[in-house]
Amino acid sequence: MVRPHTDALLLARYLANTAPNVDLTANAKNPTSVVTAATIQAAVEAMREGLAVDVDGDGAANSKDALIIMRALLGFRDATLTQGLTFNSSSRQSGADLRTWMVTNCGLVLP
């Protein structure tokens, strides 16, 4: 199960991170989880390199995509999902298109 307060937060931290050797899981990982920080980072890096998290379709996996994923996981829809974001070169711009892409391509079950 993907969770906005851990999984989407880790993705946002990774995509926004510019400093090497930062523990992206600090205060964001379930303390009883057996998954290591290195395993989480490797999974996120693989998603980013394959653009599996380029939700808006602008050719870059970045913090905007992470914010869209987090908002969608929290139940945001339509205009609230895209509020305050700029989609100049994005192929997916509406809340409905973004949610459909996440369900179809990321396998997310959205509220």
Confidence of residue 15 (pLDDT cuts 50, 70, 90): confident
Q: What is the spatial distance between Cα 39 and Cα 97, in angstroms, rounded to a whole number? A: 31
Q: pLDDT (tens digit, 9 = 90+) per residue, 42-92?
A: 777 776 676 678 999 999 888 899 899 999 999 999 999 999 999 999 999
What residues have CB less than 8 Å from 41, skipping those under 6 apart? 14, 24
Q: Where are the domains of the chain?
A: 4-100
Check residue 84 and give its pLDDT: 97
pTM for the whole structure: 0.76
pLDDT (average), residues 93-98: 96
Q: What is the spatial distance between Cα 8 and Cα 107, in angstroms, rounded to a whole number? A: 14
